[in-house]
Homo-oligomer: A and B are copies of this chain.
Amino acid sequence: MVATAAAHKRLDLAYQIEADVPPALLADPDATLGTPAELFIIPDHYIFRMLYSQGIGLESLGVPTRDGAPVENDHRAIWQRFADNFFLFRGTPTGLWLQDELVNVFGVRERLNSASAGRIYDQLAAQIARPEFAPRALLRRFNIELLCTTDAATDTLELHRRMHADGLTHIRPTFRPDAVVNIASPAWREQIAALTDVSGEDAGSYAGYIRALEQRRAFFKEMGALATDHAALTPYTARLSDAEAEAIFARALAGTPNADDAARFTGHMLIEFARMSAEDGLVMQLHVGSSRDHNTSVFARFGPDKGGDIPLATEWTRNLYPLLNDYSTDPRLRLILFTLDESTYGRELAPLAGHYPALRLGPPWWFFDSVNGMRRYFDRVIETAGLYNTAGFNDDTRAFASIPARHDVWRRVSCDWLAGMVVQGLLEEDDAQEMAADCAYNLAKRAYRFETHSE
């Protein structure tokens, strides 16, 4: 990997976005990582979308169908299929992470290919069976100071309660209310019913819905949550009058929304969530720009998150204006932005983060959580935003074992960037050393207001 790693306290603050598996893994002390196919292939859309792009059917990779139609269940055959095509991952971050995991987590010294596939499968299976490779053991070994899962607003956080009881207090929930905000989703009304049940507030009216959300946030915070997470197709924000909000909410409950109700309601709720964050201090994260389930036939057969999410061009300057002008001056608000449109780094996001006190720019996300993605981020963002308006690194992996590899890539690329700045006389060496530690650790802790004695 690039350059030389910085000498600093190696510590990871990891986010697990959309990942309900890992909490379960860690909540059950007897859980295991499963078969190599279950660990590396079947749940990982980074892996199977690349194989799919070359004509390999998801069924043949053991990806479960919605209707339960049978798929490949010979995990050794799935692994062989993956190994036969591992060359497809040359030059990709997925390939980089996987090789790093094989070597540094599982001690596999052979290169993965058709010939070595069987031997490596056996070696991995044997390792996974050992107690040192139980999820909780790896959690300790990975030296993760904070691991935040992302959880539905309706989640009882039972698993977190159990983990905290077992002393895993560094595993925290994150409040992700998308499912109760997206009125266009067929499941929305059930979600509202569930929200009522779990909150004890009648979410059947807009006012009650707001109270229920505030109740859930308070509960998440009590359970150690530091932040909320919001996904939107665009960063469109615009406040509705209570009457308009109530009317849209009623139309949605009645199943008769207008064409633009969903977009308008989301745009309004983002401002409401900014208000709540200003009031309760939960850091607000906004992930924008993914057109989900673009491949309708894959979605119909296999469901969401199957590697068919495609980014859209994103406009931040005009869209965030209403939210920023309502709450950006409130010193309690902290809003972290994530984009899938790199052309907005220098044009919109760095100037915004370099001005508004409430804003921090999140690390390169998803497709850009890569060596080149990080380099472009440093080159385009820092000159205008400065390093100290960025949020350091976190990842959104659902692949538990890839956490160290992902953070290591960030550490190496950030140090490579800093070293290059020093060599060119653009930074003093002692400043660069401080910045290396900030990139690896301090920025993320400050951005998420995570207070410990370790800083």
Contact = CB atoms under 8 A, between A and B. Distances in A.
Interface string A1-18: 110000000000000000
A49 B354 contact: yes
Contacts of A372: 379-380, 383
A329 B409 CA distance: 35
Interface in A86-114: 87-93, 96, 111
B383 A53 contact: no
Interface residues of A, number: 79
A294 B317 contact: yes
A92 B383 contact: yes
Interface string A301-338: 00000011111110101100100110011010000000
Contacts of A368: 346
B424 A1 contact: yes
Nearest to A321: B294
A428 B111 contact: yes
A343 B347 CA distance: 9
A142 interface: no
Contact of A373 (B2, B317, B383, B428): B383
A367 B355 contact: no
A77 B324 CA distance: 30
A340 B351 CA distance: 11
A317 B295 contact: no
A318 B291 contact: yes
Given A386-B90, A426-B371, A312 B317 contact: yes
A425 B408 CA distance: 14
Nearest to A352: B310
A451 interface: no
Contacts of A83: none
A295 B424 contact: no
Contacts of A383: 91-93, 367, 370-373
A-B interface, 4 closest residue pairs, ranked by CB to CB distance from nearest: A343-B343, A370-B383, A55-B357, A91-B382
8 contacts: A53-B359, A89-B386, A295-B328, A296-B325, A310-B317, A312-B347, A313-B343, A346-B373
